[in-house]
Structure 1
Amino acid sequence: MRISTLSQNLRIDTSITSIQRRIADAQQQISTGKRSQVYSGFSGQDTRLLITLKEQRTSADSYINSINNTKVKTETIDATLQQMTSVAEDLRTQLYEQVEGLFEQSSLALSTFATAAINQMSNLLNQTTDGKYLFNGTDTDTQPIIDPATTQGAYAQPALAGGSAGIIAAAEAFFDVDANWNNVTTPAPGSLSVRVDQGVDLDFGELANDSATFEEVFDVLYAFSNTTFTAGDDAEYRNLLNWGLGKIEAAIDLMNDMVGQNGVVGSEMATRQEAHKETILLLETQIGKIEDVDPYEAVAEFQTLQAQLEASFQTTAVLRNLSLTKFI
């Protein structure tokens, strides 16, 4: 009869150690639901695929985070643009409500409204989100509109008695120079941008010194807030009203366009965000097929290994209890 040799005992010990290691792996699979906690626990092909899938998931998550952060800005811009449009529409109403023949009385109400609207428009254009200015392009740390009291103090308007043309020229010349009222550089910084997908960037935002919209509104507001009406100025005041109405009508149309463009950006971001969410769901499914373990299979594997370990211990005990004297 063969007697167990040292090498046989070593092989049995190695086998027991291997089973114990596999049992530990099975216990971890049961507790975590994952095949392995490290990439080395998967086959080479699965490891490469898993890394690729997780990189894609990380990219999709980053796009969603960028979109969420930008949505706060675009929604604030949208609300601000709508408020500024309302101010311009109220100004248009005030201009329409001037009663010919009673300009001396009605002009005072318009002047009072214009002064208040200057402050409101300035505050709106200085709107911030997370401490960043939204209407100064990429220069988000700089307030685009300075204190309106400073510009009102600096603006010298000719008397209406000298003709409406002089007031118009003074207002337009004053606000054509950004340094008089606007802290943005010349030329102004470009619009803001957000990456919503691989190779896809969306531009958004408006500039406070936009000469076709906000400057136009300020032209009219300052002209009427500083107008001193005296008897006999009706004809010149009427010319000033027609000039103001033309500017405000054009500015309102452009601000409505801005609101529409901002809405298009918001809609595109929402579409991209939903697509990324669907992509993540698909990626999670694919990752799960590689990473996740069937709990029933893991338990069955554990029980099988446990039985093998017990049998190995019993065999080892018997073999190590043998001695040559028992067979003499």
Structure 2
Amino acid sequence: MRIATVTQNLRIDNSITSIQRQIADAQLQISTGKRSQVYSGFDGQDVRLLINLKEQRTSVESYVTTIKNTQVKTKTIDAALVTFTDITQDLRKKLYEQVEGLYDNSALALQTFANAAIDQLTNLLNQTADGKYLFNGTDTDAQPMIDAATTKGAYVQPALSGGFAGVTAAVTTFFGTDTNWNNVTTPAPGSLRARIDEGVDVTFGELANDDAFEEVFEVMYAFANVNFQPGDDANYEQLVNWGIGKVEAAFELINDMVGQNGVIGAQMKTREEAHSDSLTLLETQILDIEDIDPYEAVSTFQTLQAQLEASFQTTSVLRGLSLTRYL
């Protein structure tokens, strides 16, 4: 039998220190439920897999964030377009009411409606989300519509007594020049775009100077500025029929915009749901690597604690030996 040496004592001390470190790790695992707080605490293969899974999770989360931000914009656009169609439909209804021929009684009501609707429609096309204009393509920092007061002040319409052709020519010429009523640049800026998945982009948005919007504004301005007088019936009737034709065509086109915007919204919702499923799977895989079985952690802690106690007892015995006791 050998008497304990300084080297043996050092080895025992190192062993005790190692066990104490393992106990501290086990305590941390019990308190956090995680196998390790750093990558070095995992096996090499698990580290590579964990890094890959977390990168995938980050990518999917970024797509989800993009979708949510884009949905705010498409929903705002949808609300604006739906309201635009509602006002256009009301305009069509009021124009049909004029056909009854009681123009001296109904012209003023239509004129009042058109004046108020111009302000509403202009504000709708100047809608923003996150401080960005939605009806000016990628030029989101520029207000697409000139304010209604300025446009109303710039527009000049001849008297209806001068003939139907003169009134329609004036309004068509005015709105045929974009700079008279909107700020959309030429050539028109591209559509808004968002990447919602790897290699998958959606384009969305409408331009304020779209022909459908222009048609409605032409009719609105024509009737907002008409000054019906006795004897203008024939010209007014022509103006009403002209307005009905333009509004009905515009109504269909704007409805198509609503439908297309809805298709984009549905596409994003489908992608968002798929991403949600992917995130659930990725999170499960990550937790399978990161998390530790609490029973396993407690069992390891108890085993290490017993080893530590045994080591302390052994150290105490060995350090209590002397030559006299040995003999």
TM-score by length of 2: 0.96
Q: Which residue does the alignment assign to 2:23?
A: 23
Q: 1:209-239: CA deviations, max 9, x gaps? A: 112x111100110011111223332222222
- Cα drift, residue 277 of structure 1: 0.6
Cα distance in 2 for residues equivalent to 1:101 and 1:144: 38
Query: Is the 1:99–1:106 contact (alpha carbons within 8 Å) kept by the matching residues of 2?
Result: no
- Cα drift, residue 161 of structure 1: 2.1
Give the AA of the match of 2:281.
Answer: L
Cα distance in 2 for residues equivalent to 1:246 and 1:275: 44
Query: Is the 2:99–2:237 contact (alpha carbons within 8 Å) kept by the matching residues of 1?
Result: no
Secondary structure (helix, strand or coil) at the match of 1:97 reads helix
- Cα drift, residue 100 of structure 1: 4.7
- Cα drift, residue 173 of structure 1: 1.4
Root mean square deviation of aligned Cα: 1.3
Note the 1:123-202 alignment, pairs <5 A: 123-202=123-202
Cα distance in 2 for residues equivalent to 1:97 and 1:190: 40
The count of aligned residue pairs is: 327
Q: Which residue does the alignment assign to 2:112?
A: 112
Pick closer, same or farther for the CA change 1:21–1:143 going to 2, 3 Å.
Answer: same
Q: Which residue does the alignment assign to 1:76?
A: 76
Structure 1 residue runs of 5 or longer lacking an equivalent are none
Secondary structure (helix, strand or coil) at the match of 1:55 reads helix
Q: Which residue does the alignment assign to 1:42?
A: 42
Cα distance in 2 for residues equivalent to 1:29 and 1:283: 22
Q: Which residue does the alignment assign to 2:216?
A: 217
Cα distance in 1 for residues equivalent to 2:9 and 2:231: 121
Secondary structure (helix, strand or coil) at the match of 1:196 reads strand
Give the AA of the match of 1:306.
Answer: Q
Cα distance in 2 for residues equivalent to 1:188 and 1:167: 29
Secondary structure (helix, strand or coil) at the match of 2:139 reads coil
Q: Which residue does the alignment assign to 1:234?
A: 233
Structure 2 residue runs of 5 or longer lacking an equivalent are none
Pick closer, same or farther for the CA change 1:10–1:165 going to 2, 3 Å.
Answer: same
Cα distance in 2 for residues equivalent to 1:273 and 1:291: 26
Q: 1:185-205: CA deviations, max 9, x gaps? A: 122222211111111111111
Cα distance in 2 for residues equivalent to 1:23 and 1:231: 101
Q: 1:72-113: CA deviations, max 9, x gaps? A: 211111111111101100110111001454323322221111
- Cα drift, residue 288 of structure 1: 1.1
Cα distance in 2 for residues equivalent to 1:147 and 1:101: 34
Secondary structure (helix, strand or coil) at the match of 1:135 reads coil
